[in-house]
Amino acid sequence: MAKPNQPPLPSILIANDLLDGEVLFRTVSGWSPAVADALVAEDLATARQLEAEAAAATRRQEVVDAYLVEIARDAAGRPVPTHYRERIKTLGPSHRPDLGKQAAEAPAAGR
C-alpha cells in the first residue's frame, strides 16, 4: 500500500485573495498579506488543520489556490519559503525590486 501524501514540515498556508489576487498567509485568527504573521505548522496535526482551513476558505470563496509551503526560518525567526516560486510570491516581482513587498523591506538609499 502507498503511504498517504504527507504535508511538508515546517510549513505555512499560502493563498490568493479571491477579489484582488493579493498573496495571503493563514494566521492564528485569519489571513494576512505579511508572511511574518503566518501560522507555522511544525507538526502533522497543525499541517492537517491548515489543509482543512484551506478547503473551508476555498468553499467560502475567500481565497483561491490555497496550499502548504515548506519553510525555513531566517535569522529573526520569520518563516521564509524554501521554494523559489513561493519566495517570489512573498516579495513581489523579481524583475523590479523597487516594487512589491520587497521594496518596503529594502533599506532606504544612502543608508
Q: In this predicted model, what pLDDT tens digit does every residue of 40-89 receive, in sequence order?
A: 999 999 999 999 999 999 999 999 999 999 999 999 999 999 999 998 88
Beta 23-26 vs 31-32: how paired, if at all? antiparallel
Q: Enter the pTM of the model.
A: 0.84
In a domain, 46, yes or no: yes
If one counts the domains in the chain, the total is: 1
Question: What confidence category does residue 110 fall into, taking pLDDT thresholds of 50, 70 and 90?
Answer: very low
Domain of 91, in residue numbers: 11-105
In a domain, 3, yes or no: no
Q: In what order do the strands lie in the sheet with 31-32?
A: 31-32, 23-26, 11-17, 63-73, 79-81
In a domain, 2, yes or no: no
Q: Each residue of 25-34: pLDDT tens digit?
A: 999 999 999 9
In a domain, 1, yes or no: no
In a domain, 110, yes or no: no
